[in-house]
Amino acid sequence: MAGAAFRPSGDFRTSYAADTTIFDDAFSRRFVIGLVIVLALVPIPTVFGWGFDILDRYWMNLFVSIGYLSIAALGLNILVGFTGQISIGHSAFFGFGAFASVFIHETTSIPVFFCIPLAGLMTAAVGLIFGVPAARIKGLYLAIATLAAQFILQDFFARADWFSGGTHGSVARPLEIFGYQFRSVHAYWWIVLAYVVVLFLAATNLMRSRDGRALIAVRDHYLSAEIMGVNLTKYRILSFGIASFYAGIGGALFAHHNLFVQVESFTIFFSILFLGMVIIGGLGSIMGTIFGTIFITMLPEATEAVTSFMRGGAIDRALNLGGGLNYLKEMAIGLAIILFLIFEPEGLAHRWRQIKAYWKLYPFSY
Amino acid sequence: MAEAPGPDGLGDNAKETASEPEIVLEADHVSLSFGGVHALADVSFQVRRRELFSIIGPNGAGKTSMVNCISGRYAPTEGRVLHKGRDITKLRPSARADLGIGRTFQNLALFGHMSVLDNIMVGRHHLLKNNFLTGPLYWIGGARKEELRHRREVEEIIDFLEIQHVRNAVAGTLPYGLRKRVELARAVALRPNLLLLDEPMAGMNLEEKEDMARYINDLNVEWGMTVIMIEHDMGVVMDVSDRVIVLDFGRKIAEGLPDEIMNHPQVKEAYLGVMDDDDEEGAAA
């Protein structure tokens, strides 16, 4: 999907393999690999007890939640951005993954390490079932059908005591490998980071191979996709399966981080948040999904920082900012989505490409 | 490859054609109605192997409807469509790609946000084996190798249709004539034994038409594809076609060699006498 990106002169592609790489140039590749290594190094002093933290628990909590949320958001991006469908029930699948992982562990005592991927598969199966309407309906009608998924699953969580613990919720065990418990958020970050890297690579590879292209073809022109041999029913439903798999993994990672899963977490507002991440990050952009997740996760933090900065001032007294902080956070997200839809409908990924292009040519304008 | 993409590009296809039945496609009393509108009424014809077969007729005569019945967009209300003797009347459109039926559209139908290369690679869909499980693994399990092998074949098609310079461009940004060519490339990538072309030259200038006629002729003669073409440019149709049928108000009024058609009294009356030189975008339902 890179298209006609700028490439330094003299950078020739001499094989088809070199023309199908994930990153446009060696610099981007090194940058991303370097970033992942740095992120992996961050928790070391804390975990090994060297007496200091590079980042404290507050920041690591943010990192971890950006990690599992971005995995789930990537699933939604595959569904909405790449296949051109819509789902406003994504948080229900996220929740299903969370409950499923705990459920599998409690009933079969399979180690949590394996429960997470199993929960992903289980959620994928559920997603395939709820994806069946997508074979027949599109657009607004499909949105309503996925809304049904949201409420059916939410209701299921509340009633199915055997599965989710019902209204009491369920207690999750921390992940354990060879007796080492990933109880601290610093250690858990490694698990989340590993999942992020693997699943984002998998999605990138999917999009440069047969079935990923078929998904995009279904989005861009389903009639000619069908003539080209793409089975529309299969790929529309498959897309739901893949999206739910990612949501399930994200949810399972959330469960074993939070160590407690409750029904109230997986509301329709949460589903809208996922849509916000995907829209702000950039529909149909894998990197953009991370940007969007960071944006949506940091926005409430930023709102809080701004209100506490203004505390005691005239504006605060007039509007009671501190008292209405929770509303302010939600308003900020709504406002951000609207502003992005108007001014940058292609999301942060597009802005990022423009910034890169600008610096490639700096100081010349073209 | 530098090698001219002749019949080699479709090696196994050529072998296949050797033992293939003589009649590639047969329309057997095909009728198609939308409520009270009879788009096609009792149309029968046979297309022979390696033939360049043209369907002509005035606007709304049912030409595109006929092609849609062959490619599976529409199911005939009555009658049968047979591909190499096999009844495909009820077959899913996507399954017809496996049989080697490729087509282009009258109104452009490219995947607008994909690169030209990816567009053409979609044409390889039914030939590729990697899927949503092996694709994400890419390096393990042979998906990469397979993709690259098919990329090589796709490049041959790109060479043949002379679209190397737009290979990485986003399809939706290309000018009209190039898009038509990319669409042809995508259909050819499917490795069809039967190629359906719905007005491949509509809206083109003379030079582009000449190029397109050359490509179609090469595909027909050198690559050994059977071609069914809808076209309004009489000069082109009469020059390149082996046989022509004429539809008017959903009925077949004539069939024969180009010369016979030119002198057919009913055709003159129904069509050529009131011929309209403008392109007829989206008119033929």
Give me the helices (H) in A181-231, please. 185-207, 210-220, 222-227
Note whether A188 and B73 are within 8 A (CB): no
Residue in chain A lying closest to B150 (CA): A16
Show the tokens assigned to B59: 């606007």
For chain B, how many helices (H) and strands (E)?
11, 10
Show the tokens assigned to A185: 């958020």
User: Domains in chain B, ordered, with CATH?
Assistant: 7-274 (3.40.50.300)
Cβ-Cβ contacts under 8 Å, B97 against chain A: 227-229
A3, A214, A221 member nearest B168 (Cβ): A3
CB of A345 within 8 Å of a chain B CB? The answer is no
Q: Give yes or no for residue A133 having a pLDDT over 60.
A: yes
Higher pLDDT, B269 or A107: A107
Of A192, A218, A151, A225, the closest CA to residue A68 belongs to A192
Residue in chain B lying closest to A200 (CA): B136
Interior angle at CA B129, CA B127 and CA B133, nearest 5: 145
Interior angle at CA B2, CA A205 and CA B228, nearest 5: 80
pLDDT score recorded for residue B54: 95
Read off the pLDDT of each residue in B85-110 and give the average, rounded to a whole number: 92
Are B98 and A214 in contact (CB < 8 Å)? no
Mean pLDDT of all residues in chain A?
90
For residue A317, name the pLDDT band (cuts at 50, 70, 90).
Answer: confident
- Which residue, chain included where needed, has tokens 């440069």? A208
B94, B129, B138 member nearest A205 (Cβ): B138
Read off the pLDDT of each residue in B15-28 and give the average, rounded to a whole number: 74
Are A217 and B122 in contact (CB < 8 Å)? yes
Note whether A239 and A146 are within 8 A (CB): no
pLDDT score recorded for residue A287: 92
Q: Give yes or no for residue A43 having a pLDDT over 50.
A: yes
- Max CA distance (Å), chain B: 65
Q: Give yes or no for residue A3 having a pLDDT over 70.
A: no
Show the tokens assigned to A27: 């610099």
Q: How many residues does chain B have?
A: 285
Task: Give the 3-state secondary structure of residue B78.
Answer: strand
Number of Cβ within a 10 Å radius of residue A339: 11
Q: State the helix-helix crossing angle for A268-281 and A347-361, rounded to 10 degrees.
A: 20
Strand order in the sheet with B243-248: B101-103, B194-198, B226-230, B52-56, B243-248, B251-256
Residue in chain B lying closest to A18 (CA): B148
Residue A364 backbone phi and psi in degrees, to 5: -90, 150
Are A224 and B111 in contact (CB < 8 Å)? yes
pLDDT score recorded for residue B273: 57
pLDDT score recorded for residue A34: 94
Q: Give yes or no for residue B8 having a pLDDT over 60.
A: no
A19, A209, A220 member nearest B111 (Cβ): A220
Task: Give the 3-state secondary structure of residue B138.
Answer: coil
Of A135, A102, A74, the closest CA to residue A281 belongs to A74
CB of A16 within 8 Å of a chain B CB? The answer is yes
What does DSSP say about strands A180-181 and A176-177: parallel, antiparallel, or unpaired? Answer: antiparallel
Cα–Cα separations (whole angstroms), residue B151 to A126, A355, B13, B119, B124: 36, 31, 18, 12, 9
Q: Give yes or no for residue B24 having a pLDDT over 60.
A: yes
Higher pLDDT, A114 or A360: A114
Strand order in the sheet with B37-48: B37-48, B23-34, B78-83, B86-87
pLDDT score recorded for residue A257: 94
CA distance B126 to chain A (A): 6
Mean pLDDT of all residues in chain B?
86
For A231-273, the pLDDT digits (tens) are: 999 999 999 999 999 999 999 999 999 999 999 999 999 999 9
Read off the pLDDT of each residue in A287-306 and give the average, rounded to a whole number: 92
Cβ-Cβ contacts under 8 Å, B113 against chain A: 1, 216, 219-220, 284
- Which residue, chain included where needed, has tokens 């100081």? A363
In the stretch 208-247 of chain A, residues with CB closer than 8 A to chain B read: 208-214, 216-217, 219-221, 223-232, 238, 242
User: Which residues lie below 8 Å from residue A80, measured CB to CB, with a gap of 6+?
Assistant: A86, A87, A275, A278, A283
- Which residue, chain included where needed, has tokens 């994504």? A90
CA distance A206 to chain B (A): 4
Read off the pLDDT of each residue in A72-88 and give the average, rounded to a whole number: 95
pLDDT score recorded for residue A180: 87
Cβ-Cβ contacts under 8 Å, B93 against chain A: 226-227
pLDDT score recorded for residue B14: 45
For B191-229, the pLDDT digits (tens) are: 999 999 999 998 888 999 999 999 999 999 999 999 999
Task: Give the 3-state secondary structure of residue A57.
Answer: helix
Read off the pLDDT of each residue in A162-173 and give the average, rounded to a whole number: 90
A205, A220, A229 member nearest B114 (Cβ): A220
For A211-233, the pLDDT digits (tens) are: 999 999 999 999 999 999 999 99
Read off the pLDDT of each residue in A164-175 and give the average, rounded to a whole number: 89
Of A347, A216, A215, the closest CA to residue B172 belongs to A216
Q: Give yes or no for residue B18 having a pLDDT over 70.
A: no
For A50-73, the pLDDT digits (tens) are: 888 888 899 999 999 999 999 999
Report ipTM (2 d.p.). 0.85
For residue A319, name the pLDDT band (cuts at 50, 70, 90).
Answer: confident
A4, A221, A231 member nearest B109 (Cβ): A221
d(CA B277, CA B285) in angstroms, rounded, equals 19
